[in-house]
A and B are shown apart, each in its own frame.
Chain A
Amino acid sequence: MNKDIVSIIQKDQLYNLMLKGERADGRAFDETREIKIETGIIEKAEGSARVEIGNTKIIAGVKISPGTPFPDTPDVGVIITSLELIPLASPEFESGPPREKAVELARVTDRGIRESGAIDLKKMCIIEGEKVWMIFIDIHVLDDGGNIMDAAALGSIAALLTATIPAERYGLGEDAPLPMRDIPVSVTAVDIGGGIVFDPSLEEEMVANTKLTVISNQEGAIAGMQKSGNGSLSTDQINHIVEVACKKAQDIREKFLEI
């Protein structure tokens, strides 16, 4: 079936619902779908998490191993984030190297963790200039039910919070939990004909022109943002999304991530 045509029909439907203040799945505009997080599901990984937001399912795995630091930052650990949109998750995903959508998702996830200073990377240095811990965050999308962005960010931080540095395996002392300092949480909203809805479902994502992701940290400050999609947003819309997103992030953090 032609995706473009379906989404024009759906666009009408979702737009009309929006005018009535409703969403196709009955949620309020700022209501997120049910979130499920399960950590430690992959024994071989140093940290792992499975996240479901509505129909969206992802698995994030963290591997940690010693490696060489970058020459310009010789005394800090390295974070490498990648995300794959494998064909298992959607008829629209194809195998092969990551396309721009996957690259963007991975980079925004990375940005949230890096810029919020979630990991104390100074403590991840083993020998300055020679050996540091490398943290690989890999996100596998299993089912695309919309809003992969928030699921990916949530999965990666949940996996990191439960990750262990495998020092014993490399003869570098005792195993220890990752030195975590902050818990960034990503909240995404889309614009459907002027109405702003949070945590978009797949249909909503398909018909929306513009998407804004806001990643905020524990103290309610913004650590990262990304506008995606070819539409535009007004200043008021942006400020509204920022305000609600910071509040939502706090709720999600308290409910799922703070122990």
Chain B
Amino acid sequence: MTDKPEKFIDENGIRSDGRRANEIRDVKIEVGVLSRADGSCYLEFGKNKVMAAVYGPREVHPRHQQKSNRAIVRYKYNMASFSVEDRKRPGPDRRSIEVSKVSREALENQIFTEYFPKSAIDIFVEVLQADAGTRTAALNAASVALADAGIPMRSLVSACAVGKVDDTLVLDLNKNEDNYGQADVPIAMTPDGKITLLQMDGHLTPEEFKQGLEMAQEGCRQVYELQRKALMDHYSKKTEVVTEGTTAEDVKKDAPEELEDVTPVEVTEDTEETEKIDDTNETGVTKETDDTKEPGDTKATGDTEDTVKAGDVEELEDSGEEVPETGKNADETDGQMDESEEETSNE
């Protein structure tokens, strides 16, 4: 471990890793990287490297945990023994139990659990390398993986930490700032500004906290754009592969035109469009097709259908007011619910 530096911020306002106070570290997000999981995401946040996988909705084991009116959400945050300088003893410790609990609570309310009674949605996040801010990185990855799994959600969740070093508030602490800093406040937020995770330790005056909260929210908004872009890129690439490589006319006939037309506004205002999307969803595509990348695959509709879902997610987030949003969500996700029920029965 490096020693405490004399100064965290130099006279030009530059931090030890070259960032300014309000900058987050470089983020890299890859969507759909695992073949067996229903949804997955690999995410790098500075030197943090995390892998998230989502399974479900699926049967609940042990069965007594199942809820008759909704799905249960389980979140497992686990650190690899080699992820930190001194080998970590494998298995859950008190810290990871707490992190898992608050992270699950940060996501659970964004998932339409009431659509999947008696089932479980399992989220697993493996921290492969830790470098301060693993819980926020894990949460960001988990949120993208949920979207990749096609789990109907009210919105994505984006997380970011704010802290204090040299009596100055800084966004997204690095390892040194975390070890020797004066405060650390991880938060998670939905794009409409609802805070779903908030923890804090250290020393902050209420005034500093207020300011810090605003900074962290700005950080979350940046992360959100990156998450959204990663999902868009992933699924639009898949669509390109499908349209170029497919000989089967029906794929073109079925999905792409609609896809291109799916802009947030149109989906919400044009009910016919929504119905068409629902039709696409009801083609009985099973989840396995999402992972198929070969062009020309006859099941390629699976890919396009996912793009629609990605579009849906964003749309939900862009809409402003809460009450009508919920209504819209309910309508749009009907199709997805059907599809997922089929998934379960197909298994």
Q: Which residues of A contact B (CB under 8 A)?
A: 4, 72, 98, 100-101, 103-104, 106-107, 111, 114-116, 209, 212, 217, 220-235, 238-239, 242-243, 246
Contacts and interface: CB of A to CB of B under 8 A. Distances in A.
Given A72-B1, A225-B185, A230 B104 contact: yes
A243 B98 contact: no
Contacts of B105: 227-230
A105 B94 CA distance: 11
B183 to A, nearest CB: 8
B202 A223 contact: yes
Contact of B94 (A103, A209, A223, A227): A103
Nearest to A71: B86
Contacts of B194: 232-234
Which 7 pairs show the lowest CB-CB distances between chains A and B? A225-B200, A232-B194, A227-B198, A230-B108, A230-B105, A100-B101, A232-B196
B97 A225 contact: no
A242 B95 CA distance: 25
Nearest to B185: A225
A232 B109 contact: yes
Contact of B197 (A111, A223, A224, A227): A227
Interface centre among B100, B195, B204 (most CB of A within 10 A): B195
B203 A100 contact: no
Interface centre among B97, B106, B202, B206 (most CB of A within 10 A): B206
B202 A115 contact: yes
B209 A233 contact: no
Contact of A223 (B1, B95, B203): B203
Contacts of A212: 198
A235 B202 CA distance: 20
Central interface residue in A209, A217, A229, by most chain B CB within 10 Å: A229
Interface in B192-225: 193-206, 209-210, 213-214, 217
A222 B102 contact: no
B201 A224 contact: yes
Contacts of A101: 101
A228 B206 contact: no
Contacts of B205: 220-222
Interface string B250-289: 0000000000000000000000000000000000000000
A53 B198 CA distance: 25
Interface residues on B, range: 35 or more
B209 A242 contact: yes
A225 B206 contact: no
Contact of B213 (A100, A106, A235): A235
A98 B217 CA distance: 33
Contacts of B239: none
B329 to A, nearest CB: 16
B174 interface: no
B140 interface: no
B200 A235 contact: no
Interface string B91-132: 000110110111011101100000000000000000000000
B206 A246 contact: yes
A238 B194 CA distance: 10
Contacts of B95: 107
A116 B206 CA distance: 14
A111 B195 contact: no
Contacts of A225: 185, 198-201
Contact of A238 (B98, B101, B201, B213): B213
Nearest to B68: A4
B220 to A, nearest CB: 12
Contacts of B200: 222, 224-226
Contacts of B202: 115, 223-224
A217 B183 CA distance: 14
Contacts of B198: 212, 225-227, 233, 238
26 contacts: A98-B94, A104-B101, A106-B94, A107-B94, A115-B202, A212-B198, A220-B206, A222-B204, A222-B205, A222-B209, A224-B202, A225-B200, A225-B201, A226-B200, A227-B196, A227-B199, A228-B105, A233-B195, A233-B198, A234-B194, A235-B193, A235-B195, A235-B213, A235-B214, A238-B213, A242-B209
Contacts of B214: 235
Interface in B326-344: none
A63 B106 CA distance: 36
A238 B97 contact: no
A162 B221 CA distance: 47
B209 A103 contact: no
A24 to B, nearest CB: 24
A230 B217 CA distance: 19
Nearest to B105: A230
A249 to B, nearest CB: 11
Nearest to A236: B193
Contacts of B104: 230
Nearest to B184: A115
B270 to A, nearest CB: 30
B190 interface: yes
Contacts of A220: 205-206
A19 B328 CA distance: 27
A227 B245 CA distance: 49
